[in-house]
Structure 1
Amino acid sequence: MFEKHVTQVRNWMFDQALPLWGDVGIDRVHGGYTERLKADGTPDDPGFKRIRVIGRQIYVFSHAFCLGWKPGLALAEHGFHFLVKHAWLGEVGGWARRVTTDGQLMDPTPDLYDNAFALFALAWFHRASGRQDVLSWALKTVEFIEAHMRHPNGIGFMHEKPAVGPRQQNPHMHLLEAALAWLDTQPHPRFETLARKVVTLFETKLFDQANGRLPEYFDEDMVPLNNSSGRITEPGHQLEWAWILGNANRLLAIDTRATTRALIMSAEANGVDPISFATYNQVRNDGLVLDKGSRTWPNTERIKAHIAAYEIFGTDPRGAIGQSLDLLFSNHLNTHLQGTWVDAYDSDWNPCQGPIPTSTLYHVFLAFAEILRVSQLLESNA
C-alpha cells in the first residue's frame, strides 16, 4: 500500500504539478511567477506579487531540479533574477513585502515572514545552482534581520517594521526553517547563530511547556495574550514546528526530542479529526476545537511531522502518511485541473471556492519530497 502512495506522490509532483506550474505559473512578460490561477488554469492577476510567493516558488523549482527535474534550474533562476532586481531595498530595507505585477515597489514594509522566505529560497537556489553569489545575498539578508528586525526588548524579532498588532510565532518558525536550510546547504556561523537563537526563543518563550501547545499570538514580552486570541493554537503549525525542530536536532546537535514529541502528541490528540483524519485549522489551548475546517497545508505538515518522528524515535509513519495522503488526494488535490488544489474546506466540509493560490505548492511539494526521501528506507523495513 505504501508503495502505491509513493507512486501517487511522484506522479503528482513530476507529471502534474511541475509541468503545470512550470508553464502557466511563470510570468514570462514581467518576470517572476503568477500569484494565483483561475479555476480554468489561466493566471489570475491581483495586481501584485508577494515576495514570500516568489521565494516559495524559487524553492520548489530548485528542489525539483535537485530531484532530477531538469527544467527546474532555469525556472528557479527566473525567479531569482526577479527577486534581486525588484525586491531588495538595501541594507536598511531588506526585502520588500510586495511589488506590482511588473515589479514596481508596492509595499516596502520589512516583513520577517517575507525575509525568511527570501532566505529559504536563496538556500535552495544555491544548492541547485552552486552559485557563490547567492551566499552573499543570504548573508546580507541575515545582517538586515539581525540589525533592523530584532525587537527593541531583545526578545525575538518584530514580525514587521513598524510592528502593528500582536507578536507572532509563525515568522520565527520560517526564519528557523531558512537558517537550517542554509546549514544543510553550506554551513556558516551566521546561520548557526541565528538558528540557535530561534530555537532558544521557542523553548523559553513560545512553547507552552505546561500543556504541550504552541500559542499563536503574544504581547511585547512574548507572553501569550491575556484574551481569547492568546488561547488560539494551530495544529498545522505545531506539526510544522515538529519537523523543523527535528532538523534542528540533526543539524545543531541539540536535543529537541521532548518538545517534538509533545507538539505532535497534542496536535494529534485534539487537532486531527478521528474519522476523516483532516487536520483542523484551530484548537484552543485546552483542546477545544475552534475551527474544524481544514486547509491543504496543515495536512501536508502532518506528513512531515510523522517523518520527523520516524527519524527521531523510529515510530512507523506510514499509517499517518497514508491517512493524510488519502484525504489530500480524495479532496484537496482531487481537481479537474491536475496539479492544483482546493485550498480550503469549511467546518461542514464544503469546498471554499476561489482562486488557486500559488503559495500552497511549497507545502505540498516539500511534504511529498520528504516522502520520496524516506520511502526506500521505509519500504526496506516493511
Structure 2
Amino acid sequence: MQAKEIKVKPSEILKNVQDNLYEIWLPSWYAWFKDTQNGGFHERLDEKLKPVDLGYRRLVTQCRQLFVYSHAALTTGDLSRMDGIEEAFDYLVKYYYRPETGGWRFSVKPDGTPVDDTYDLYGHAFLVLCCTYYYRLTQDETVMDIARRTLDFINTAFRVEGLPGFAEALDEDLKPLDRMRRQDPHMHLFEASLFMYRVTNNKPYLSLAKELADLFTDKFWSRESGTLPEYYDDFLNPHPESGHISQPGHHFQWIWLLEKFQETRRRKHQNLFDIMSELFVWADKHGFDPAYGGIYDELDIQGDILTDSKRIWPIMEALKAYPVINRLENDPHYCTRRAEDLVTLLRAHYLEEDGRWTEQLSRDMKPLRTDMPGTTPYHIYLGIAALSEIE
C-alpha cells in the first residue's frame, strides 16, 4: 500500500472516517469474510480478498467477526447488508461447542472438522462478549443461556487452586496447559464480564469484573515502572525472562476498559483514575514514533524499543483512549488533535477507501504484511466508532 496524501480539513477527518466505516467498510468486511460455502467467517484474506488456506479457523476469529456485525447492526439499526448473520452464529455453536464439558474448542477446519480441542481462555472470553451483542440484536434467550453457561465453565474449569487469576488454556481433559501466563486473556474476560452485567444486570458478573479489576491493580499494573508488563509466571509475578516486555496498545485498551468499569459500577475511584493517567502518560510518551509516526508493537518497561514494527490495532486502541483522557484531563484540544493526527496517518498508510487495510508496517512505514486477519475488524470498528465521543 502506497502512502497517500490526505487533503481533508482537520475538522472533517473524524467525520469522514466514521462515515466510511458504516457506509462502506462494515458491509465490505461482512461480504469478504463471510464463507457462503461452509458457513462462518474466513480466518484470513489475502491482498486479492481470497481466503488464505491456513487449515484452521479459530474460535476467537468467529467471535470477533460476529461481535462487530452485531454491534454495528445495533448501532445503525440496519441489518439489510448483513444477511445470514444467524447462520454464522449457528456455525459457531455447531462446530466449536463441546456439550460434554460446556466449553469451546480452539479451532476447526472450514468444514467444521475439529483441529484443536484445547480450551483457550482468550477465545472463551470473546465467545461471551459476542453473545452479549448478538443477544441484544436477536433477543434470543438461547444465546444468553449459552453466554451464562460459558461463564460458569470459565469460573469452574479455568481456576487453578493456589494460583491467582485464570489458566491460559486447558487440555482435552480440562487440565491446565503449561504456558506462560499473560494479562491479555484476563483483560478480555474483564471486558466480557462487564458487558454481561450491562445486558443482564446480574450481580455475579459485576463481581467477576471487580475481581479482575483488582487483579489488574494488584498483579498486572507495575507501580514501580508505571507500565503494564505482558508476561507472568504462575503466580502472576513478571516473568523472569519476558516480564520486561510491554505493549503500548494494551495500555490504551485498559484505559478504555477501566472507564467502562467505573461507568458500570457508577462509582469513581481516584486510584483507578491515577492509574489510567499513568498508563496514558507512559504510552503516549514512549509508544509513538516521533520520526515516522505510528505506535511501536513492543517496548521494554523502561520505554526502549524492542519491536519497531507497527500493527494497526494499537492505533485503534489509542483512538478509544483519547475520549477517556479528555474526560479525565479536560483537554479536548490535545485529544482531538492527536486523534486527527492518527486518523490522517491511518488514511495515508493503513486504510484503503474500500475497507482493505495493511496489518503491519515497518519502522519507516513500509508494508510488512499483505494479509488481512479476521480478528482485526474488532479493533478498527471500535476505534473508529469511539471518535464520535470526541467530535
Look up the match of 2:173.
none
Hey, what's the Cα distance between the residues in 2 that align with 1:273 and 1:65? 36
Provide the TM-score with structure 1 as the length reference: 0.93
Look up the match of 1:250.
263
% same residue: 29
Hey, what's the Cα distance between the residues in 2 that align with 1:277 and 1:315? 22
Pick the aligned partner of 1:107 from 94, 100, 116.
Answer: 116
Distance apart, 1:34 and its partner CA? 1.1
CA distance 1:179–1:313, shift in 2 (3 Å) = farther
Look up the match of 1:56.
64
Summarize deviations over 1:69-117 as a string: whole Å, max 9, x none: 3236644423211111111113635111111111122111110000011
Pick the aligned partner of 1:224 from 210, 221, 238.
Answer: 238
Distance apart, 1:182 and its partner CA? 2.0
SS at match of 1:71: coil
SS at match of 2:299: strand
The aligned amino acid for 1:80 is F
The answer to whether 1:347 aligns with 2:363 is yes
Report if the CA contact (8 A) 1:93-1:108 is conserved. Answer: no
Report if the CA contact (8 A) 1:99-1:105 is conserved. Answer: yes
Pick the aligned partner of 1:186 from 183, 200, 217.
Answer: 200
Summarize deviations over 1:319-354 as a string: whole Å, max 9, x none: 12112111111111137xx20111001234321133
CA distance 1:279–1:91, shift in 2 (3 Å) = farther
Hey, what's the Cα distance between the residues in 2 that align with 1:4 and 1:223? 46
Q: Equivalent residues in 2 for 1:254-265 (5 A)?
A: 254-255=268-269, 256-265=272-281
Look up the match of 2:14.
6
Look up the match of 2:4.
none
CA distance 1:76–1:5, shift in 2 (3 Å) = farther
Summarize deviations over 1:21-77 as a string: whole Å, max 9, x none: 221211121110111112112222322111101110111111111122323664442
Report if the CA contact (8 A) 1:303-1:367 is conserved. Answer: yes
Pick the aligned partner of 1:130 from 124, 139, 145.
Answer: 139
CA distance 1:4–1:112, shift in 2 (3 Å) = same
CA distance 1:72–1:201, shift in 2 (3 Å) = farther
Hey, what's the Cα distance between the residues in 2 that align with 1:310 and 1:72? 34
CA distance 1:3–1:91, shift in 2 (3 Å) = farther
Summarize deviations over 1:252-310 as a string: whole Å, max 9, x none: 22522111111111111111112444111111111111122100000101111112222
CA distance 1:302–1:148, shift in 2 (3 Å) = same
Report if the CA contact (8 A) 1:276-1:327 is conserved. Answer: no
The answer to whether 1:357 aligns with 2:373 is yes
The aligned amino acid for 2:119 is P
Distance apart, 1:181 and its partner CA? 1.8
Look up the match of 1:370.
386
Hey, what's the Cα distance between the residues in 2 that align with 1:320 and 1:22? 30
The aligned amino acid for 2:371 is P
The aligned amino acid for 1:163 is L
Report if the CA contact (8 A) 1:213-1:263 is conserved. Answer: yes
Look up the match of 2:223.
209
The answer to whether 1:163 aligns with 2:172 is no
CA distance 1:27–1:345, shift in 2 (3 Å) = same
Report if the CA contact (8 A) 2:194-2:261 is conserved. Answer: yes
The aligned amino acid for 1:136 is D
State the structure with bigger RCO (CA 8 A, min sep 6), 1 or 2: 2
Pick the aligned partner of 2:296 from 280, 299, 311.
Answer: 280
SS at match of 1:79: helix
CA RMSD of aligned residues (A): 1.8
CA distance 1:187–1:346, shift in 2 (3 Å) = same
Report if the CA contact (8 A) 2:102-2:149 is conserved. Answer: no
Report if the CA contact (8 A) 2:102-2:150 is conserved. Answer: no
CA distance 1:347–1:277, shift in 2 (3 Å) = closer
Hey, what's the Cα distance between the residues in 2 that align with 1:323 and 1:250? 28
Report if the CA contact (8 A) 2:248-2:314 is conserved. Answer: yes
SS at match of 2:324: helix
Distance apart, 1:3 and its partner CA? 4.3
SS at match of 1:184: helix
Provide the TM-score with structure 2 as the length reference: 0.90
Hey, what's the Cα distance between the residues in 2 that align with 1:193 and 1:73? 35
The answer to whether 1:234 aligns with 2:258 is no
Give the number of aligned pairs: 372
Hey, what's the Cα distance between the residues in 1 that align with 2:39 and 2:304? 45
The aligned amino acid for 1:147 is T
